[in-house]
Structure 1
Amino acid sequence: MTGQTYFVTGTNRGIGFEITKYYSNLSKDNKIIATARDPSKADKLKELAAKNGNVEIITLETTSDKSIGLIDSELAKIGVDGIDVYVANAAISDSYINVIDCPKEVWLDHYTVNSLAPILVLQKLYKHLLKKETRKLVFISSGAGSLTRFVPTPVSAYGQSKAALNFSVLELSHELKQEGFKVVAVSPGVVSTDMGNHGHSEIVKNSPHLEDLLKSVSITPEESGTQVAQVIDNLKEEDNGKFLNYDHTEYPY
């Protein structure tokens, strides 16, 4: 099996860690560039890197222009010659507030991390992705960003920021199609990560009738990360521009 190089953001825990673990275990020939805001605190990630030898951990604060500006030098340090797959996973979700009450700084924080940062990182990675033929761009989105399958519970800035990210996915899928890129948004499901569990409890506070539904569809981080990775592995040309669910079905925008 020919190894591929993956650039994954937000890998110190949760879905990002599980995607990193999946590709690291899949083949010793893979190289995973795993980013974290503070690698010194990413104990599980460091343990995985020491065990498998194919995970390179770099510092990346996706809200910092300075940190994003250092991506080229970070890649040069670890001898990366091209990237096959970019997985934009880093995100925040803490806006379980009605639109009418949501403060400006909450909107801006969610837009900065969830909508803009994935694109700003891509702008730095673009030339590295062009060095490979694989050219897969995967943006981890959320069902909360679907306008068609809207769930009436307060997610305000989070839902809107993911809908904005989805718009960029659609636009990029057209912009980069002629260069052979496959650009998709992927919903990872309702996942029992730290962030997901916090969201679950906040949603149930606001919408108690959704508790049984959330419990029935909840999956573990490992289940989500593994299935998202398998979606990535199986991307075809005709998937370009789609919003896909972790279970390999298409999610409505």
Structure 2
Amino acid sequence: MTGKTYFITGGNRGIGYQLTSQLSSDPSNTLLVAIRDIKTPSVQLSQLVKEKSNIKLVQLELTSQKDIDSIPAQITEILGQDAVIDVFLANAGIDSRTGPTLTATDASKWESLYKINSLAPILTFQKLYPFLQKSKTKQAIFTSSLLGSIAGYIPFHTSSYGQSKAALNYSVKALSEELKDQGFVILSIHPGLVATDMTKNLSSDLFAFPMISDVKAAEKQVALFKKLDSGFNGKFWDVDSDKEYVF
């Protein structure tokens, strides 16, 4: 996976930052890292950008259609008219703090979760699609969650969060079918129960696997990227356990 150009969302912290850090350690890689406000990157990302010349920041507030529409122009400005994106890592997302129940979830919660977790990754992919088409790699990896599985439903209140990830999974599956004849490899991944700001209030005893660090989660994802081929297209992959999961 050396010499690839990656477009990563959510690179400010957590898994997204660790992916940025680990992938940028190979100087032949180029990383376009999308964050909410390009003027105020996190302290750790700002320091990493100073240390690594192969990291370029992209302005992308996922709730802003203007920012999404500006992606092609930003890529061209950074990489030039012949810009190619090899791998899209749709990492950014938000949670609902696992509650309340569906009988008490208000409309604003539904709207924010669906807009960021379900729609934004696909709308971003639409803008990246022409750049991915020019690549020999053509990979798009969407971070989902086992909590978005219907067939493997976990009886744990996630309200609109689980539904937003199920909706994302549907779109990923549909994209994988639409673009398989063009040589794309498109899949959903569950990174594991990762110790990040998003999961710090969760109890790991609700799940059949232990909590892992964001460093380890990123390491496992990078290992997965190295073996991706057409056989992974349309899969829902549990990265922590390194096995296919059911949608």
How far apart are 1:214 and its partner, in Å? 4.7
In 1, Cα distance between equivalents of 2:2 and 2:219: 20
Distance 1:213 1:152, change over 3 A: closer
Count of paired positions: 242
Q: Which ranges in structure 1 are unaligned for 5 or more consecutive residues?
A: 205-210
Residue in 2 that maps onto 1:76: 76
In 1, Cα distance between equivalents of 2:209 and 2:72: 43
Question: Is 2:221 the counterpart of 1:250?
Answer: no
Q: Name the Cα RMSD after superposition.
A: 1.5
Superposed, 1:152-163 pairs within 5 Å as 152-163=155-166
**Residue of 128, 131, 147 corresponding to 2:131:** 128
How far apart are 1:233 and its partner, in Å? 2.1
- Does the CA contact (< 8 Å) of 1:37 and 1:59 recur in 2? yes
Over the matched positions of the two proteins, sequence identity in percent amounts to 39
Residue in 1 that maps onto 2:146: 143
Residue in 1 that maps onto 2:57: 57
In the superposition, the TM-score normalised over structure 1's length comes to 0.92
Q: Which ranges in structure 2 are unaligned for 5 or more consecutive residues?
A: none
How far apart are 1:41 and its partner, in Å? 3.5
- AA aligned to 1:220 is S
Q: Secondary structure at the match of 2:49?
A: helix
Q: Secondary structure at the match of 1:49?
A: helix
- Does the CA contact (< 8 Å) of 1:36 and 1:42 recur in 2? no
Superposed, 1:53-202 pairs within 5 Å as 53-80=53-80, 81-94=83-96, 95-198=98-201, 200=202
In 1, Cα distance between equivalents of 2:157 and 2:206: 16
Deviations 1:36-90 (A, max 9, x none): 1023132211211211211111110111110111111211221251000001111
In 2, Cα distance between equivalents of 1:214 and 1:150: 12
In 2, Cα distance between equivalents of 1:2 and 1:220: 24
Superposed, 1:198-237 pairs within 5 Å as 198=201, 200=202, 204=203, 211-214=204-207, 217-237=210-230
In the superposition, the TM-score normalised over structure 2's length comes to 0.94
Deviations 1:102-127 (A, max 9, x none): 00110111000000000000110000
- AA aligned to 1:225 is A
Q: Secondary structure at the match of 2:6?
A: strand
In 1, Cα distance between equivalents of 2:234 and 2:92: 20
